[in-house]
Homo-oligomer: A and B are copies of this chain.
């Protein structure tokens, strides 16, 4: 992230890094880049792991190694995009909101099937399943598909900024943004008195092989601004074993999605959202802003 500016201050003309991903294919995960204000804006490149291995061996054995670099990357001006929001109105306490989030945009190299098409599919399908139940949950379930998660979280920040008195009526927020799953853990950041309710959720999720985690959940990148406002959050942790083989690379396409895995994730999100939206009493308020 800081590498290009640090290198530029030392006189570098460009920076080349090893892929930030785990794939052994010839595709690179570029990582992300923030230019410092006080350094020349030099181009940065990422090499796939096999190519980085080759270069490392050349550097270790040859007197001189030359790389010819060509970047076609451009920074385009800002443009308009929008959060997309839908709701299942609550049966009794419709002014209270359980938020299910995901994000609409994808990283430049990726098509976004896993990041975050899978997350969008999970939260929409979870909400659809709930909408078809005869007995709707007491609270409103709000699905928020955030704009621009990847390039600065502006959708998430704008959402939080314009909440007004709705902020106090958000009882819980969760996001799906680590690929398709399966969900393997439920983790919370809620007021201590609400922890038994989280444990009860885990019991319901137990048949899906979801274990109980600690009370230090982040909620997800788009949920961050809500969490810092004191809104409790839940993580349904998605299995990321192979996520970094794919995400933010050209390989993030639909062929990587397994409908059976997605089904498990949808079931877990639907159950957790329903239980949260039906629970007697809320999840309290976070008094210290979590990480």
Contact = CB atoms under 8 A, between A and B. Distances in A.
B26 A251 contact: yes
Interface string A1-32: 00000000000000000000000111100000
A43 interface: no
A187 to B, nearest CB: 31
A250 interface: yes
A47 to B, nearest CB: 12
Contacts of A25: 25, 27, 251
Interface string A47-62: 0011001100000000
Interface residues of A, number: 15
Nearest to A26: B250
A24 B250 contact: no
B24 A26 contact: no
Nearest to A256: B24
Interface string A233-262: 000000000000000001101111000000
Contact of A255 (B49, B250, B251): B49
Nearest to A249: B26
A192 to B, nearest CB: 46
A26 B54 CA distance: 21
Contacts of A253: 24, 26, 50, 53-54
A61 to B, nearest CB: 15
Contact of A254 (B50, B251, B254): B50
Contacts of A27: 25-26
A288 to B, nearest CB: 44
A254 B52 CA distance: 12
A90 B24 CA distance: 42
Contacts of A250: 26
Contacts of A50: 111, 251, 253-255
A83 B98 CA distance: 71
A251 B27 CA distance: 9
A254 B24 CA distance: 9
A245 to B, nearest CB: 10
A194 to B, nearest CB: 42
Given A24-B255, A50-B254, 18 more contacts: A24-B253, A24-B256, A25-B25, A25-B27, A25-B251, A26-B27, A26-B250, A26-B251, A26-B253, A49-B255, A50-B111, A50-B251, A50-B253, A50-B255, A53-B253, A53-B254, A53-B255, A54-B253
20 contacts: A24-B253, A24-B255, A24-B256, A25-B25, A25-B27, A25-B251, A26-B27, A26-B250, A26-B251, A26-B253, A49-B255, A50-B111, A50-B251, A50-B253, A50-B254, A50-B255, A53-B253, A53-B254, A53-B255, A54-B253
